[in-house]
Structure 1
Amino acid sequence: MVLDLNSDLGEGFGPWQMGDDAAMLDIVTSANIACGFHAGDPTIMRRTCGLAVERGVRIGAHVGYRDLAGFGRRAIEVDPAQLRDEVLYQIGALGGFAKAAGDRVRYVKPHGALYHSAACTRSVAEAVVTAMVEFDQTLVLLGPAGTELAEAAAASGVGFIGEGFADRAYTPEGSLAPRGLAGAVLAVEDAVAQAVSIAQRGHARTVDAARVRVDAESLCVHGDSPAAVRMARLVRERLAAAGVEVRPFS
Structure 2
Amino acid sequence: MGFPGTWMTESESMVYRVVPKCACSSIGQIMFYSDHGRFFDGDIHDSTDGLHKWAQDNSQKLITANVKSHKSYAFTCVRNPYGRILSSFFDKIAGIQRNGKRYRGNLVPKLVQNYGIEVGSPEDEFDFDQIASFRRFLLFARDTIRWRRPMEPDIHWSAMSGHVSTFIVNGGRYNNIFFTEKFDEGMQSVLDDIETPVKIDLKKVPRFNESEGHGPKRAHKISEYFDDLSRHLVWEIYKKDFQLFQYDFDDPDNKMPIGEIDLDEVHAKLGD
TM, length-normalised to structure 1: 0.28
Report the structure, 1 or 2, having the larger strand content.
1
Give the structure with higher Rg (CA). Answer: 2
Report the structure, 1 or 2, having the larger helix content.
2
Ranked by relative contact order (alpha carbons within 8 Å, sequence separation 6 or more), the top structure is 2
